[in-house]
Amino acid sequence: MTSPIPTRQPLQLPQGQRLLLHSCCAPCSGELMEAFVESGIDYTIFFYNPNIHPLKEYELRKQENIRFAEKNGVPFIDADYDTDAWFARAKGMENEPERGIRCTMCFDMRFERTALYAHEHGFPVITSSLGISRWKNMEQINDCGHRAAAPYPGLVYWDYNWRKNGGSQRMIEISKREHFYQQEYCGCVYSLRDTNQHRRTQGRERIKLGVLYYGDTPESANTNSTSGVIPTETTETTETTD
């Protein structure tokens, strides 16, 4: 028997009246978005995730986030898909493990752009949905957030623990209710490569894009497939040569 999900507690911004939320995807940001609405927090979504690869996966994740933002009447800032800059910064880190220095670089890059936009547009507080995922190192994420905000006087990174008080459970419930697209790897080409390699060792199929949605049964996920298997050259090679 599962325990009941705790009731949300009211939230209060650490300072100011406006919040810029860096969103990595709809499933992770859904709980934060609904919590902000309940607490009467004025916030805007900032979508800057140049790590997500390939482009089809990027569009799947972004469009789900746009759909939920529009449903809730939340402003959505669609930043550049700056993949060339991301691959340039990742050069030499292609074989680093998850939660290693490549992930730190990736968080730094996304938070730096978020902090710059906040500074230029009068947002006194930034935060991110990245930390709600149990697959992520929250301390690593928060360090990057604080580092990005530090150069701008008056800008604060809000390092709230979004997992607590039932946040992680509500994230899943919201994702099922909204039938969000369920990504099966972190986002970058190296995560996709490593996840597929791990699946092969377990005799499992390679990741398919656009197939799995929260609330689906395995059977319905299979019948909903329109993308097919990711080609070998996409999952096994990188675009960082030269």
Domains, in order of start, for the chain = 18-178 (3.40.50.620), 189-236 (no CATH)
pTM of the model: 0.88
Other Cβ atoms closer than 10 A to 112: 16
- φ/ψ of 181, rounded to 5, equals -60, 135
Single-letter code of the amino acid located at 4: P
Give the model's pLDDT for residue 69.
Answer: 98
Give the model's pLDDT for residue 135.
Answer: 82
What residues pair up with 22 in beta bridges, in sequence order?
A: 46, 128
Number of helices and strands in the chain (H, E): 9, 5
**Residue 123 to residue 43: CA distance in whole angstroms:** 9
Higher pLDDT, 80 or 233: 80
Which percentage of the chain shows pLDDT scores above 90?
82
**Residue 201 to residue 199: CA distance in whole angstroms:** 5
On the question of pLDDT at 219 being above 90, the answer is no
Higher pLDDT, 239 or 129: 129
- Answer yes or no: are the C-beta atoms of 22 and 110 closer than 8 Å: yes
pLDDT tens figures, 13-53 = 999 999 999 999 999 999 999 999 999 999 999 999 999 99
Taking residues 148-156, what's their average pLDDT? 98
Residues constituting the chain: 242
Asked whether residue 188 is marked as a ligand-binding residue, the answer is: no
Asked whether residue 103 is marked as a ligand-binding residue, the answer is: yes
**Residue 99 to residue 133: CA distance in whole angstroms:** 12
Give the model's pLDDT for residue 5.
Answer: 81
